[in-house]
Amino acid sequence: EALKAIVYINDADWVNFSEEKIKKHCADYLATHKIPKIVEFQTKLIFNAAGKKQKKDLAT
């Protein structure tokens, strides 16, 4: 199973981020086995009625 990072980005910030930049940042601060193989960018987070993030929906 590959490690996956889900990154929330505002529309204005798209130009500053790339998959390679995220992986390089992780490589600088994390152990090798913790560096994500997949980086997924999202522009919107899903919340439930109580205002909490729906983590299970992010995993899909």
How confident is the model over 12-30, as pLDDT tens digits? 666 778 899 999 999 999 9
Host domain of residue 26: 4-58
Residue 60 has pLDDT above 60, yes or no: no
pTM above 0.95, yes or no: no
Please list, in sequence order, all residues whose beta carbon lies within 8 angstroms of the beta carbon of residue 8, skipping any fewer than 6 positions away: 42, 43, 45
7 contacts 41 by C-beta, under 8 angstroms = yes
- The number of folded domains in the chain is 1
Q: Quote the CA–CA distance of 26 and 28 in Å, as a whole number.
A: 5
* Closest C-alpha to 18, from 41, 34, 36: 41
Q: Please give the full DSSP string across 3-29, using - where no structure is assigned.
A: -EEEEE--GGGGGG--HHHHHHHHHHH
Higher pLDDT, 55 or 23: 23
pLDDT > 70: what percent of the chain?
A: 88
Residue 1 has pLDDT above 90, yes or no: no
